[in-house]
Structure 1
Amino acid sequence: MIFERQDYQQECINNIISVLEDFDFDAHNAENLKTCLDKFYATHTMPIKNLSNKLNLDILMETGTGKTFTYLNLIFELHSKFKQNKFIIFVPRKAILESVKQNIKLTKDYFYTQYHKHLKAYVYSDTKSQEAIINHYIKNTDELSVLILTNSAIDKKDNILNKSHEALFNTESIFTNIANLKPISIIDEPHLLKGNAFNTYFSQINALYFRFGATFPKYKEIKKKEHVLSNMVYCLDSINAFNNYLVKQIRTHTIIQDNNTPYLIKGNNKEKYGIFSYFVNGIEKQKRINKNQDLGDLDSKFRGICLINVDKDKAYLSNGETIQAKKSYVLQEDEISRLMAKAIDLHFEKEVELFQKSIKALSLFFIPSIEDFRGENPFIKNAFERIYKQKREQVLKQNLPQEYRTYLNQDFDKDQVLRVHQGYFSGDSQKNAKTKESGKENIEANDIKMILEEKEKLLSFQTPLRFIFSVWALQEGWDNPNIFTLTKLANSTSETSRHQQVGRGLRLCVNNEGKRITHSFVDYDDSAFFDINYLDMVVSSEERGFIERLQKEIEDSSFSLSGDILTEEFLEHLGLDKRQINRLLIRLEDLGCLEFDKQSNSYKIIAQIYEAMKNENIKVLLGEQYMEILEAFKPRENRHDYLTDANKTNEKINIRQSLAQEFKELWHSINKQAKIVYENINQTHLVESIIESFNAKSIHKEYISYEKKVYDSKNNRIITEKLENIAAKEYAHTLHKNLPQLLIEFAKANQKRHEELPLSFLLKLYNHPKLNKQSFINSPKAAFQALQDCIKEELHKNLLQSVSYDFSQNTFSNERFDPLYTPDKHPRQSIEKHMLGKYISKNIPSDNYLYEKAVCDSKIEEEITLDTLKLNDYQIQVFAKLPKLSIPTPYKSYEPDFAYLLKDAKGQKIFFVCESKGYDKESDIPAQERKKIDYAEKFFEKLGESMQNKNIKVYFHTRINKQNLLQVLEEVLQRSDNDR
């Protein structure tokens, strides 16, 4: 597995270090911590600033974003910055403990290269393990070490750790001796560690502790307020994580069974209404029915029948019948088979595509009971094997890559036993431990070990296992980045949330080299990213309301705006009182951003709110809170929905066919795949500036260290007597030998980011007599990283003077799928709505607009679609919002939003691409965005020069919010006249 620090993880750690700069680690005083937090909040914005009187710091991190890696990194930082040596990680379950152990093992070498320290881990499991805890963790106070405990290790008086031991020189218990060290604690998944017994013993430590969780309880959900979020220092909630491309998209498939009868989701006796679930064309819908209202919309057989009363679990109808709220369900065998068949189909659909990208696909099934997989007549196991073999035979008849066909050939062992599936259940970890002790191993034991502990082996194409079955043993603490299909064959327990279940497959996938497929890995291409990183969730139609309840769980665990509903709870999170909330909702409704839905008793978002928030009345209403609340409505770059219903077909917008014929030449001219190249670089000046910057960096030698420890019998403890570097790592010879390959790899790494740095330039730079070669001898890896940073920094200072673009004549920006034209260049009939924007305008667009409806993300975009302009010499033949046009820049890809085809009487054409910005003036555009615009201008300048038809001119311009389009076009036409 390849490990690398992510920016958001580093931000979390930086926030914590910032808070603790003035913290007294000897006193561990809550008032001192509160003062530190006050100082931190003065310069950092958090969704909530609920201060507690305790020693906790809270970190909200979505499942699958590397929470464990982050707090392990934090341990090393606290040791490095504040000389803290002793830590405890508390986890609620054995599976999480095993996951933490595995993470420590996998990251051991990575953290050593970063900190030149090893973290010694101790786990309490039996009487034997307590000896190591006493003799090393407790007595060796100089050792950087962590104790990993479940709550069950300390939450009872009779537990071993709560008793004294003869190896200790006092009568206090082992845990009291641990507490006396004042170890810094990390509580993983704190929502599962709220019990009084645990807190009674945990409070003995009375030292700084961190609560890392993806879920924190809300005030109204619990009686004890100390468990809610407080002293927050970092927030990466579910929606924020998705918006920043840190987790997979969720696509839910509902398999419709024969019984589609409407049923009650919930009833409200006080207000006399019920929320009912029903199906239309295989798609689940929900409807609110009030008392005395006809139920015919739910099903024609209820026509003329009214709701006469309702309580929490039952609706009473006028014909004497009742409709009950189903709390649980048991699937019939044929229903389970249908769900498995769908899951296997989805698996095969994506497996061949992922295989060619060196990504192994895994699938996870939640089943009713262990007997269904390991019993004498295990129906689910037998049915899976039968269905899988059938589907596999169908797949093998297709035209497959030979390598993938070879991969499928290892599905069976020499005795023709299927090897692709295995179960992991409660108790398997103990079974695995006993197998280790006995020295006996079998295929089942090896598979169990692999599922729980050997993530890298499970991800290898050499391992045929890729379908995993569990009742619910694989929960918090277990996930795998390459779970792409997750199927529910059983009802959830009351304690199991839908969000927890999908969390087993939310982590971004990795390829066969252990490289995570991040947004940057695919060059910030949204389509490429979500073509890979999505999780198929397969559920039965018996699981009524699954999507809505999952959506609510995601929203409830987040502080970010999501979906199409603006809730009062979200506005409460922003710090608004009841009066402000009511007035703001009404104001936004008056401005056309919200629409009140009586059925759901909620406000639907029908237009972008961010621009409307700039209304003067809203500024007055919000006062000092205005800027902070405005930020919460800022449009996001990621326009995809976190949760989608795969049963629904994507809404489509018709393309005007006659205009599409006119637009075709423009589209295929600008939609070119391009690579940044650097030309006419002033190499002498550039080389000198890079060398000056590089030589200013301190890159230290890597050493092999010697550490001597001795036992102090008087005090019954181990002390470090000697710590010294005994030898420097010698890279001089190997560096000289491997230099050509290192430079080639360095050049390739830059090319992957669409930046072409000539190898000759890198050689000239490396061989320059002023370059400090000792840095490369000290640490080649650190030196090359520093050199890369220096090159980028210095090169980009005057980048636009030397940048150019190399266009591929026969390849296109969205090569895999052109949303406007077929491969033989015919216009498509329609385009999916999400490719153009989020909101459909109620106004009909201009006659020369490419689409029949205006789909937009902002008010300025809507106004553009309505423009009907007349120019003196030119006519606007057709204009359109661009569905996907990516221009590579060093600052992520840039996507202009509108393009115009202008033509004069002589046949002269102008292709004009316009970027519309919702800023009041040009100086308001952020510096990073301004740089991307500069690159876009250079892109279209070079594109115009490369046009084979010289009767066509290409121009790019930015239109600011208050700038008239006619004025912009006149500037473009003036440029065209000057170019003649």
Structure 2
Amino acid sequence: MKLKFKVQPFQTAAVESVADCFAGQVNTSGIAYRIDPGSTRSQRRDAASGQTLYGTDTEETGFRNADLQLSEAHLLENIRGVQHRQNLPLSDRLVPSAGCGVNLDVEMETGTGKTYCYIKTVFELNKRYGWAKFIVVVPSIAIREGVLKSLEITAEHFTEHYGKKARFFAYNSKQLHHLESFSSDGGINVMVINIQAFNATGADNRRIYDELDDFQTRRPIDVISGNRPILILDEPQKMEGERTLEALAKFRPLFILRYSATHRTSHNRVHRLDALDAYNQKLVKKIAVRGITVKGLAGTTAYLYLESVEISAKAPVARMELEVRRSGGIRRIVKRLEKGRDLFVESNGLDQYRGFIIAQIDAVSDTVEFTNGEVLHAGDAVGDITETTVRRIQIREAIRAHLEKERMLFSRGVKTLSL
């Protein structure tokens, strides 16, 4: 079955937001340069003398990205123009990072086609300005394989729209011949690399910085950086460690594009499609937010988390997490409790629960009232609450809520996403 891709206006807007930042750049199909041939020498036998003659290999021509011709002021003016038309905060300067002076943030909600957008941006930048060397940096091998699959299944689609194909491959330190083609080919070339391939300490991962005998005593990073590639960071918030930023700088990027739904560090944001925007544009059917409220109860350190109030055949039941004394120590357990249950008894005699007897469970307001006057709403967590506790509750609730929604919506053909 062949997939059909539709040109979506909201995705085109994301592509244009990036491309318009470089308005005024002259279209150059690539700057020719001499690829470092390494230290190998060719040899041939002279027919007349029978002697072996040595000489250097024929120089191979490469094509690197043309330099940015725009001044910093011109580039900033373009960026501010893009920001103004989208009602984004206007940048007062270019924000450098990873050894690069130009870093553009693209914020796109999960499920809106982020990968498709940056692949299309590759073609658009090539069409407008002639840039052809791109590196997609991803945080994991799984995402790397997903990006490669996206490049594969969209190849025909983009060929129809741009009249050319992109050559793409995953960086592999044991298949360095791809780097030769990456440098020498004048067409669109996309290398996909996961951060472990250049940021880990293993011998295989360090090969990118080593002079290799099987690579004519050259360093792969030098051959890559000679192309002045454009870096596309997928989930850049996972690449903000000091060592990772130092490693990214060694690629000598022309500029960096950063795509994420949840940017941790802000640079120059040129596009935003958040959850509310996606809902308003009818890209998602509905947004539901489930929160956790941390509150204190007077004079007690009792831990309680009211997960939900369930309607049963008889009376409402509260799903509540509390601490319970067990033979192996104290554990936090979720229990289904009815009106009249005593938490001191349910906890096997923990003193902090004295006086916590359920007086009322209200399914309309999703509340539980105790005989001591304390009231909990669904989602309230009280007592000894640490950040780890909150995160554990969030993860558990996200999984439970996702499965509930999936069960309700799957038969209707509606996809459920949880963040």
TM-score w.r.t. the length of structure 1 is 0.28
Q: 1:122 to 1:534 in 2, by over 3 A?
A: closer
Q: Which stretches in structure 1 are left out of the alignment for 5+ residues?
A: 218-227, 254-263, 287-292, 316-322, 330-490, 510-529, 538-549, 554-980
Q: Is the 8 A contact 2:209 2:221 kept in 1?
A: yes
Compute the displacement of 1:168 (Å).
5.8
Task: Find 1:211's aligned residue among 252, 258, 262.
Answer: 258
- Corresponding position: 1:53 with 2:95: yes
Equivalent of residue 96 in structure 1, options 143, 149, 163: 143
Tell me the equivalent position of 1:667. none
Greater share of residues in helix: 1
1:230 aligns with: 267
Q: 1:34 and 2:76 equivalent?
A: yes
Q: Counterparts in 2 of 1:438-449, with a 5 A limit? A: none
Whole-angstrom distance in 1 between the partners of 2:112 and 2:281: 11
Partners of 2:132 and 2:188 within 8 A in 1: yes
Q: Give the secondary-structure state (helix, strand or coil) at the position aligned to 1:102.
A: helix
Question: Which residue does 1:62 correspond to in 2?
Answer: 109
Give per-residue Cα distances to partners, 1:135-183, cap 9 Å, x unaligned.
2112x151310100000111146522122234667x6521132122111
| CA deviation string 1:386-426 (max 9, x = no partner) | xxxxxxxxxxxxxxxxxxxxxxxxxxxxxxxxxxxxxxxxx
Residue 373 of structure 1 aligns with which residue?
A: none
Contact persistence 2:24–2:70 (CA under 8 A): no
Aligned to 1:243: 280
Tell me, yes or no, if structure 1 residue 152 matches structure 2 residue 152.
no
1:125 Cα offset (Å):
3.2
1:929-966 CA-to-partner distances (Å, cap 9, x unmatched) read xxxxxxxxxxxxxxxxxxxxxxxxxxxxxxxxxxxxxx
Q: Offset of 1:247 from its aligned partner? A: 2.9
Letter in 1 for 2:76: K
- Seq. identity, %: 20
Shift of 1:285: 9.6
Deviation, structure 1 residue 124: 1.7
The answer as to whether partners of 1:50 and 1:231 remain within 8 angstroms in 2 is no
Q: Which residue of the other structure, out of 1, 22, 25, is the alignment partner of 1:20?
A: 22
Q: Is the 8 A contact 1:61 1:237 kept in 2?
A: yes
**Alpha carbons of structure 1 residues 183 and 493: separation in structure 2 relative to 1, 3 Å:** farther
Displacement of 1:23 in angstroms is 4.8
Alignment match, 1:303: 371
Contact 2:80 2:90 in 1 (8 A): no
Equivalent in the alignment of 1:83: 130
Q: Does 1:136 align with 2:195?
A: no
109 and 281 in structure 1: CA distance in 2 versus 1, 3 angstrom threshold: closer
Deviation at 1:203?
A: 1.4
The structural deviation recorded for 1:21 is: 0.6
Q: Which amino acid aligns with 1:266?
A: V
1:116 aligned to which of 141, 145, 163: 163
CA deviation after TM superposition for structure 1 residue 48, in Å: 6.5
Q: Distance in 2 between matches of 1:164 and 1:248?
A: 54
Q: Distance in 1 between matches of 2:158 and 2:396?
A: 34
Which AA in structure 2 matches 1:164? E
Shift of residue 35, structure 1, vs aligned partner: 3.6
Partner-residue secondary structure (3-state), 2:259: strand
Return the match for 1:280 from 309, 321, 341.
Answer: 309
Q: Deviations over 1:730-771 (max 9, x none)?
A: xxxxxxxxxxxxxxxxxxxxxxxxxxxxxxxxxxxxxxxxxx
Look up the SS of the partner of 2:232 in the other structure.
strand
Q: 1:210 to 1:326 in 2, by over 3 A?
A: closer
Paired residue for 1:188, among 225, 234, 253? 234
Following superposition, the deviation at residue 93 of structure 1 comes to 1.0
Q: Counterparts of 2:91 and 2:298 in 1: how far apart (Å)?
A: 35
Q: CA deviation at 1:42?
A: 4.6
Quickly say closer, same or farther: Cα 1:82–1:120, change in 2 above 3 A: same
The partner residue of 1:266 within 294, 304, 309 is: 294
* 1:564-583 deviations in Å (ceiling 9; x for gaps): xxxxxxxxxxxxxxxxxxxx
**Secondary structure of 2:119's partner?**
helix
Output aligned runs, 1:909-928, within 5 Å: none
- Residue 634 (structure 1) aligns with: none
Structure 1 residue 498: Cα displacement: 4.2
| Pair 1:210–1:275, CA change in 2 (3 A) | farther
- After superposition, residues 887-926 of structure 1 pair within 5 angstroms as none
Q: Distance in 1 between matches of 2:153 and 2:172?
A: 21
Q: 2-side partners of 1:156 and 1:29: how far apart?
A: 36
Shift of 1:185: 0.9
**Equivalence for 2:30:** none
CA drift at 1:132: 1.8
Q: Which moved more, 1:177-186 or 1:29-38?
A: 29-38
Match of 2:10 among 4, 8, 11: 8
In 2, Cα distance between equivalents of 1:130 and 1:495: 41
User: C-alpha offsets along residues 783-832 of structure 1, whole Å, 9 cap, x if unaligned?
Assistant: xxxxxxxxxxxxxxxxxxxxxxxxxxxxxxxxxxxxxxxxxxxxxxxxxx
Is the CA contact 2:176–2:215 (under 8 Å) kept in the aligned structure 1?
no
Can you list the C-alpha shifts for 1:502-538, whole angstroms capped at 9, x where unaligned? Answer: 69x99xx9xxxxxxxxxxxxxxxxxxxx954253x8x
1:73 corresponding residue in structure 2: 120
Contact 1:266 1:276 in 2 (8 A): no
Any conservation in 1 of the 2:359–2:369 contact (CA below 8 Å)?
A: no
Tell whether the 8 Å contact from 2:80 to 2:91 is kept in structure 1 after alignment: no
Question: 1:6, CA displacement in angstroms?
Answer: 0.2
CA shift at 1:28, angstroms? 7.4
Structure 1 pair 327–245 and aligned structure 2 pair: CA distance change class (3 A): same
In structure 2, the residue corresponding to 1:191 is in which secondary structure? helix
Compared CA separation, residues 272 and 51, structure 1 to 2 (3 A): farther
5+ unaligned residues in a row in structure 2: which ranges? 27-65, 97-101, 312-316, 321-354, 362-367
Q: Which amino acid in 1 is paired with 2:6?
A: E
Classify 1:161/1:498 alpha carbon distance in 2 versus 1 (closer, same or farther; 3 Å): farther
SS at match of 2:257: strand
Q: Output the CA distance in 1 between the equivalents of 2:144 and 2:299.
A: 47
User: How far 1:74 sits from its partner (Å)?
Assistant: 0.7
Q: 1:278 to 1:210 in 2, by over 3 A?
A: closer
Matched-pair contact (CA < 8 Å) for 1:92–1:189: yes
Tell me if the contact between 1:50 and 1:230 (Cα under 8 Å) persists in the aligned partners: no
For residues 278-307 of structure 1, give each alpha carbon's deviation from its aligned partner in whole angstroms, at most 9, with x where no partner exists: 543448799xxxxxx998667678302669
TM-aligned CA deviation for residue 186 of structure 1: 0.6
1:50–1:232 Cα contact (<8 Å) kept: no
Mark the CA change 1:64 to 1:492 in structure 2 (over 3 Å): closer, same or farther.
Answer: farther
CA distance in 2, matches of 1:251, 1:44: 25
Q: CA deviation at 1:62?
A: 1.0
Deviation for aligned residue 1:242? 2.2
For residues 145 and 297 of structure 1, what CA distance do their matches in structure 2 show?
Answer: 68
Distance in structure 1 (CA, Å) of the matches to 2:177 and 2:276:
45
Report the CA distance between 1:496 and its aligned residue: 10
Shift of 1:189: 1.2
1:163 corresponding residue in structure 2: 210
Change (3 A) 1:91 1:28: farther
Give the Cα–Cα distance (whole angstroms) in 2 for the partners of residues 119 and 17 of structure 1.
18
1:26 counterpart letter in structure 2: D
Q: Judge which range, 152-161 or 66-75, deviates more.
A: 152-161
TM-aligned CA distance change 1:186 to 1:279, over 3 Å: closer
What is the CA–CA distance in structure 2 between the aligned matches of 1:105 and 1:117, rounded to whole Å?
14
Give the secondary structure class of the aligned counterpart of 1:154. helix
For residues 189 and 116 of structure 1, what CA distance do their matches in structure 2 show? 29
**Residues 265 and 251 of structure 1: CA distance in aligned 2, closer, same or farther (over 3 Å):** closer
Cα RMSD (Å) of the superposition? 4.5
Residues 269, 47 of structure 1: alpha-carbon distance in 2 compared, 3 angstrom cutoff: farther
CA contact (8 A) 1:87 1:185 kept: yes
Supply the AA of the counterpart residue of 1:237: D
Describe the superposition over 1:534-579 as per-residue Cα deviations: whole angstroms up to 9, x where unpaired.
53x8xxxxxxxxxxxx7xx6xxxxxxxxxxxxxxxxxxxxxxxxxx
The count of corresponding residues between Structure 1 and Structure 2 is 313
Residue 246 (structure 1) shift: 1.5
Q: State the structure with more CA Rg.
A: 1
